[in-house]
Every structure is written in structure tokens, then in C-alpha cells.
Structure 1
Amino acid sequence: MPVLASTITAKGQMTVPVEIRRALNLKPGDRVEFALSPDGRVFLRALNLPIEALFGMLSHLTADPAYADDDDAIADQVVAEDEATLPPKKRGRAA
């Protein structure tokens, strides 16, 4: 994997190397996102995909057979997240 360098200006700006711009199809005005991992690595992601590019992105996922439908799965998740916010003495009580 090639290592590419850039310099930060006094305003905190930097030029994204041309190889990266080409690989991510970045054009002037496109937005990017930075993510900082706990070990100090930084990830850059282009936010320039048209909405059509997202079609089929989740088609590999299958429904959880433990639930009759999505509404039941969502309801269980909402209850679990709600209970997680309760003090320990009130957890697990029926409503």
C-alpha cells in the first residue's frame, strides 16, 4: 500500500493527494468524512456517492427467523435500549 503525504496549512487545510482523489472519484465541492480509531489511525471516506449507488447495498442481509416481522424486532430493540437506561433496581419489571 503506497503511503502518500500532505502538508497542513496554518488554516488547518490540506490537499488530498491526486492518487487518492482519483481512487475515490473526488471532485471540487465533494464532502469527505474522517474517522479516528482508538489506536490513532485515521480513515477517510468519500461522501460523494449518488443515492442510486446505495440500491441493493443491504440485499445480502436476511431476516432474523426469531421474529415474525420487522416490527417485532424493532420493538424488542427499543425495549432493550429503554431498559438499559433504567437504574438497576427498576430493570426487568413488567409495565
Structure 2
Amino acid sequence: MPTATVTSKGQITLPKDVRDDLKLRPGDKVEFEKRDGRYVLRPRNRSIMELAGILHRPGSKAMTIEEMDEKLAQALAEDDERIRAGR
């Protein structure tokens, strides 16, 4: 398991295999999220341009706000029913 040492200034150097796995480059940002008493390290190195079009499905028309609201309400009702049924 890769390890790092904290300096007197509170800095660490991420091991190379961790940087490689996370595709981190100099200048990239890293986010720390606390979950159940542990911290999760998440790279913040994606360009907004890389995200363009990820929700588009070729050949499908865009939903209206009303359609989105209806689908969300339906999904919430199904989740509520599943939770109440103990599934």
C-alpha cells in the first residue's frame, strides 16, 4: 500500500503510482471528502470541455422541465415505496 509522509508544513507528496492511477499532473487539484470517519481522495482534474455532451443521447429529443419533474417525482415515489417495503 502506498504511503506518504506529512512535512512540518502539512504537505505530502503523493506516491507516483497513486498519481498515475488518478491521472494527476502538476497543477491538478485534489478534493478530500470525509465519509464514515475516513477521507476519500478525489481528483479534480477534468476539464469542463471533457464533460461536454456526456448526457446527450444521439437520436433522442431533449426533455422539457415538466417532463424532468414528472420523471423525478416518479423515481422518488418508487424509491419511497421500495424503502417502505424494506427492499
**What TM-score, normalized to structure 2?**
0.59
Q: List 4+ stretches of structure 1 deviating above 6 A.
A: none
Tell me the equivalent position of 2:50.
53
The structure with the greater share of residues assigned to helix is: 2
Provide the alpha-carbon RMSD of the alignment: 2.6
Q: State whether structure 2 residue 2 is matched by structure 1 residue 16.
A: no
From the superposition, tell whether residues 4 and 31 of structure 1 become closer, same or farther in structure 2 (CA, over 3 Å): same
Sequence identity, in percent?
Answer: 39
Tell me the number of residue pairs that the alignment of Structure 1 and Structure 2 aligns: 65
Q: Secondary structure at 1:52's aligned position in 2?
A: helix
Q: What is the 5 A alignment of 1:63-74?
A: 69-71=64-66, 73=69
2:38 pairs with 1:41: yes
* Aligned-pair CA distance for 1:32: 0.6
Q: Which has the higher strand share?
A: 2
The structural deviation recorded for 1:71 is 5.0
Cα distance in 2 for partners of 1:47, 1:7 equals 22
Instruction: Give the unaligned 5+ runs of structure 1.
Output: 61-67, 78-95
Residue of structure 2 equivalent to 1:27? 25
Indicate the structure (1 or 2) with the bigger Cα radius of gyration: 1
3-state SS of paired residue (2:25): coil
What SS class does the counterpart of residue 33 from structure 1 fall into? strand
Offset of residue 28 of structure 1: 1.3
Q: Which has the higher contact order (CA 8 A, sep 6+)?
A: 2
